[in-house]
Amino acid sequence: MKTLDDFNFENKRALIRVDFNVPLNDKFEVTDATRIISAKPTIIKILEDGGSCVLMSHLGRPKGVQEEFSLKHIVSKIEDVLGVEVKFSSDCVGKEAQEKADSLQPGEILLLENLRFHEEEKLGDVKFAEELSKLGDIYVNDAFGTAHRAHASTTIIAKFFPDAKCFGYLLEKEIKSIKRVMEDGEKPVLAILGGAKVSSKITVIENILDKIDHLIIGGGMTFTFIKAQGGSIGDSICEDDKMDLALDIMKQAKAKGVQIHLPVDVVAANAFSNDADTQIVDVKNIPEGWQGLDAGPQSLANFDKVVNESKTILWNGPLGVFEMENFAKGTITIGNSIAEATKNGAFSLVGGGDSVAAVKQFGFEDKVSYVSTGGGAMLESLEGKTLPGIEAILN
């Protein structure tokens, strides 16, 4: 696995695929710079070697050229984070991009305009990838968030750098963190899967059952499992067509010696609203007209015990509707349990959109071992797929 440390970038121009798909407010200001901060170590290493950097990224899902998705809006934020002036090219290929790249001096940075202003990017167009490849001497992929897409800048481009391509520090960390859970995890290994639907996590569950010792299931998908076992779930969310699958997962887990831990009680509400009336009820006896929106106190006590007996922990998905204050306690409590286990020497990896949002919202970022930057990419890795953006560097 070739990484940044295998190269000296002195007088070399690094063409870096970063993931600067950051959220902007209506004044086009960056509201969360995490992805820019995550790319900083890679960029600084290259500059300190005496190299220069050409940065390429997408932003949003533009249809053609759209002003609101221009990367020029984030130049000042990148400069703030890196402490280095950033030049900008109003296109990512063509005469201007080539001239600005060619004139870069060691220690300088050029940001290219949004790759997705060209539909060839998403189509994985070879000619477009070749055009991009002329902008650098060494190709560095540091964009885990797009590594599951076979786009021109994430996958196809690598073939134009047969001996001069590597992973950036961020992508290297992502790969090692997932490997640490999936292959090298110190036992007992625990996976905590939350979120609304079993259907979105089926392949993950099936792939990780061979690697884990415990599985905590929380969030909305709890109720598909409970109903499948004959429980009354009131008006709780449920995928009726996945109940057989839930039973099959439980059977597979038992055969593999994996203990499944489901909530035993829930915070039920009489409406999907933060202002609804609530009561704590047995998860198998939720009254009609009520729905489970968070894990209950006994469940959280049970989960805490499992978390603190584990040495390797994967967390993907919240335990309740954490966006509403009255149903956030389960997610906050499991976060505290994971933080405690991490402090005591466990390795904890958090990944997947909502759990990452929760970790940031409730201040757990520095209390877990690693927070993944890629939602879809993380899930596909856990499903056992080799991501095209990773494979392109390894080949």
Residue 75 tokens read as 């130049």
Residue 175, amino acid: I
Amino acid identity for residue 34 in this structure: T
Q: Which DSSP letter does residue 271 get?
A: S
Reading the block at residue 141, the tokens are 């992929």
> What's the pLDDT band for 384 if we cut at 50, 70, 90?
confident
Asked whether residue 338 carries a pLDDT value surpassing 90, the answer given is yes
pLDDT, position 353: 64
**pLDDT value for 375:** 74
Average pLDDT (34-61) is 97
- Segment 56-82 shows an average pLDDT of 97
User: 237-241, 365-369, 370-374: lowest mean pLDDT where?
Assistant: 370-374
pLDDT of 202 > 90? The answer is: no
Per-residue confidence band for 318, with pLDDT thresholds at 50, 70 and 90? very high
| Known binding positions for ATP | 201, 292, 323, 352-355
The overall pTM is greater than 0.85 = yes
Tell me the C-alpha distance between 299 and 284, whole Å: 13
d(CA 52, CA 106): 5
What residues have CB less than 8 Å from 386, skipping those under 6 apart?
A: none
Model pLDDT, residue 145: 84
Q: Does the active-site annotation cover 13?
A: no
* Terminal-to-terminal C-alpha distance of the chain: 10
Q: Which two tokens stand for residue 194?
A: 């939350």
Reduced to 3 states (helix: H, G, I; strand: E, B; else coil), residue 233 is strand
> Among 158-172, 333-347, 353-367, which is the least confidently predicted range?
353-367
DSSP structure class, residue 215: E
From the candidates 12, 13, 35, 165, which is the catalytic residue? Answer: 35
Domains in the chain: boundaries: 4-171, 185-382
Same fold, 4-171 and 185-382: yes
The mean per-residue pLDDT over the stretch 56-68 comes to 96
Among left, alpha and beta (phi > 0; psi -120 to 50; other), residue 263 is: beta
Active site residue 376: yes
In whole angstroms, what is the distance from residue 197 CA to residue 180 CA? 26
pLDDT at 212 over 80: yes
Averaged pLDDT for residues 85-111: 98
Angle 85-90-94 from CA coordinates, rounded to 5°: 115
Please identify which of the residues 159, 180, 197, 284 carries the catalytic annotation.
Answer: 197
pLDDT of residue 356: 85
Question: How confident is the model at residue 118, as a pLDDT?
Answer: 98
The conformation of residue 177, written as its DSSP 8-state character, comes to: H
pLDDT digits (tens, 9 = 90+) for 102-138: 999 999 999 999 999 999 999 999 999 999 999 999 9
Catalytic one of 360, 376, 384, 385: 376
Q: What is the mean pLDDT of residues 53-81?
A: 97
Is 40 labeled as catalytic in the residue annotation?
no
pLDDT band, residue 310 (cuts 50/70/90):
very high
State the binding site. 19-21, 35, 58-61, 116, 149, 201, 292, 323, 352-355
Query: Cα separation of 173 and 8, whole Å?
Result: 20
Catalytic, 179? Answer no
Q: What is the pLDDT of residue 17?
A: 98
Please state, in angstroms and rounded to a whole number, the distance separating the CA atoms of residues 143 and 153.
10
Three-class SS state of 17? strand
Q: Tell me the mean pLDDT in the region 220-239.
A: 96
Q: Give domain 185-382's CATH architecture.
A: 3-Layer(aba) Sandwich (3.40)
| Alpha-carbon gap, residue 221 to 203, rounded angstroms | 14
- DSSP code per residue over 127-172: HHHHHHHTT-SEEEE--GGGTTS--TTTTGGGGG-TTSEEE-HHHH
Q: How many CA atoms lie within 13 A of 44 on its CB side?
A: 14
* CATH C-level class of 4-171: alpha beta
* Annotated binding-site positions for substrate: 19-21, 35, 58-61, 116, 149
DSSP lists the bridge partners of residue 53 as 14, 109
Q: What is the pLDDT of residues 27-42, one digit of tens each?
A: 999 999 989 999 999 9
Is residue 376's pLDDT more than 80? no
195 vs 217: CA distance, rounded Å = 9
